[in-house]
Amino acid sequence: MTKIVSHWIGGKAAEGASGTYGPVTDPATGEVTTKVAFASVEDVDAAVAAAKEAYLSWGRSSLATRTSILFKFRALLDAHRDEIAALITAEHGKVHSDALGEVARGLEIVDLACGISVQLKGELSTEVAGRVDVSSIRQPLGVVTGITPFNFPAMVPLWMFPLAIACGNTFVLKPSEKDPSASVRLAELFSEAGLPDGVFNVVHGDKVAVDRLLAHPDVKAVSFVGSTPIARHIHTTASANGKRVQALGGAKNHMLVLPDADLDAAADAAVSAAYGSAGERCMAISAVVAVGAIGDTLVEKIRERAEKIKIGPGNVPTSEMGPLITATHRDKVASYVTGAAAEGAEVVLDGTGYTVDGHENGHWIGISLLDRVPTTAAAYRDEIFGPVLCVLRTETYEEAMDLINGSPFGNGTAIFTRDGGAARRFQLEVEAGMVGVNVPIPVPVGYHSFGGWKDSSSATTTSTATTARTSTPAARSSPPAGPTRPTPRPASTWASRATTEPPGPHPARPGPYPPPRSRPGRPCTTDAVHGGPSVHPGRSPGSVSGRHRDARSDAYG
């Protein structure tokens, strides 16, 4: 009997009422291993209703309660990282080491969520008008949702829901239907950590589920990662329905190599960044721009390294690159390679038609390297999302910058050079959200923002960006709590109080207070409250001022 991946609604598995399912395949074999339930409009409504009900208590829970559960979730996630990585490899196809790295990057955001109290600290201004204090705080929105892609089935959801839930929101996740099991396992672990039912929900499906989430009146904010056309649809639809939106789109990430660069280091970086995870990542380097006379040497170094990559099933320890997610996607990637020569490119390595012995029906494609690619070629214009690297040539740095900034995408980019001045100039002039200097994939750590420019993004994610998007500032004006404040007194009286007790009634304490310190050469003005003499200019020793009698009365009730 085929296993069914169910939804997670209200703290338990729920198959839903639609009766519609989608296949989940093992990319290494091409075999259908499970099927996933597709949500109907009613199923989505049930998940949102569960989240809305849970928000009534979760939104008012203490930070201590939330962070305690997050710490437990973090420990469980760490303990089960191998299990989750195995689920990713089985459904996505990436090699196990890549899957482990994905879980590790997700854990970084859970770490950040565990310290959410720092990001949620408010501000206070006292006595802004008479006896009025004004405070600024952040409050949760309510039900928020995340729509995530197939290429990082654990990491991208972990970018979204831990921070949103830490802020006091409840969450409905719609992961990719191609590799859904990791998200459900995350929900189970979160529940095991003590998360109340309904705070985190998972629904699977296609456009029906997505469009219902975008239109649902109880969903207050939407986060999305995926292709640019769908990102535009998400942004337009959700915004029209009055929701806060963050939508990360596609990319065409360039790596600029200057003539003074270490070409061995540049070639190593290009190979790992272009072919890691089979190129199925938005931060992959898909275009290398070689400046000056280094092009031939650089291409040869890349070719030598790329040919040595071991392709095979992700669960085989010696494999360095796995298959693509589906046969349809494999065929689309191959079409860019087969059409490149007709568009004027030189095919240095052709990965089409690649197979793995014993796994002939898998979604395999080999390494492809295209040189002297025209900017008009589809292989350069489009986001391929596969193991295809384009090399372009320019004579000068300025030509290279015009080429890079002429791309409609602006996600990430990198420069390889030994010249610090050139690196600084590049960082200031390039039109991209994330820039690496001799770093091929400039993904920031979790407490910095992640996001691109132009067609690559409408907003950033992780870090304070998620906190700001899933919470709202609120100003509060009110008189201070507690008894009426005393009328301010002369400085000498307040100095007297500072050495004994703060203003206000206090219970008597046994025994005398320790003797107060006085300035050298000056009698202490607080002797009155200890029964001793108080000496003031113009007064004889032993006289006690009316102010100090008040002080004694206030201090001892």
Mean pLDDT of 225-248: 94
CATH topology of domain 3-249+464-475: Aldehyde Dehydrogenase; Chain A, domain 1 (3.40.605)
Beta strands, E only, 378-445: 388-394, 409-410, 412-416, 434-437
Kindly list the distances between the CA atom of residue 513 and the CA atoms of 154, 304, 308, in Å, as whole numbers in the listed order: 61, 82, 80
* Of 179, 220, 252, nearest in space to 26 by CA: 179
pLDDT in tens, 163-213: 999 999 999 999 999 999 999 999 999 999 999 999 999 999 999 999 999
pLDDT in tens, 34-48: 999 999 999 999 999
Q: Is a pLDDT exceeding 70 seen at residue 549?
A: no
Q: Which of 125-129, 150-154, 527-531 has the lowest mean pLDDT?
A: 527-531
Q: Is a pLDDT exceeding 70 seen at residue 258?
A: yes
For the whole prediction, is pTM greater than 0.75?
yes
Domain range summary for the chain, segments of one domain joined by + = 3-249+464-475, 253-440, 486-557
Mean pLDDT of 486-495: 51
Confidence band of 459 (pLDDT split at 50, 70, 90): low
Structure tokens of 485?
């404040």
**219-255 burial by CB neighbour count: b if 16+ within 10 A, else e?**
bbbbbbbbbbebbebbbebbeeeebbbbbbbbbbbbb
* DSSP track, 204-217: --SHHHHHHHHH-T
- Choosing from 114, 282, 390, 524, the catalytic residue is 282
Looking up tokens 């949760």 gives: 140
Q: Is a pLDDT exceeding 80 seen at residue 112?
A: yes
User: Is 114 known to be catalytic?
Assistant: no
pLDDT in tens, 213-232: 999 999 999 999 999 999 99
Q: E strand or H helix at 348, and its extent?
A: strand 346-349
Q: Is a pLDDT exceeding 50 seen at residue 393?
A: yes
Right CATH for 253-440 from 3.40.309.10, 1.10.8.60, 1.20.58.100, 3.40.50.2300: 3.40.309.10
pLDDT at position 474: 87
Contacts of 331 (CB under 8 A, 6+ apart): none
Q: Is a pLDDT exceeding 70 seen at residue 33?
A: yes
Q: Is a pLDDT exceeding 70 seen at residue 508?
A: no
Kindly list the distances between the CA atom of residue 349 and the CA atoms of 277, 318, 338, 343, 369, in Å, as whole numbers in the listed order: 18, 22, 11, 16, 5
Q: Which of 120-124, 277-281, 464-468 has the lowest mean pLDDT?
A: 464-468
pLDDT higher for 493 or 397? 397
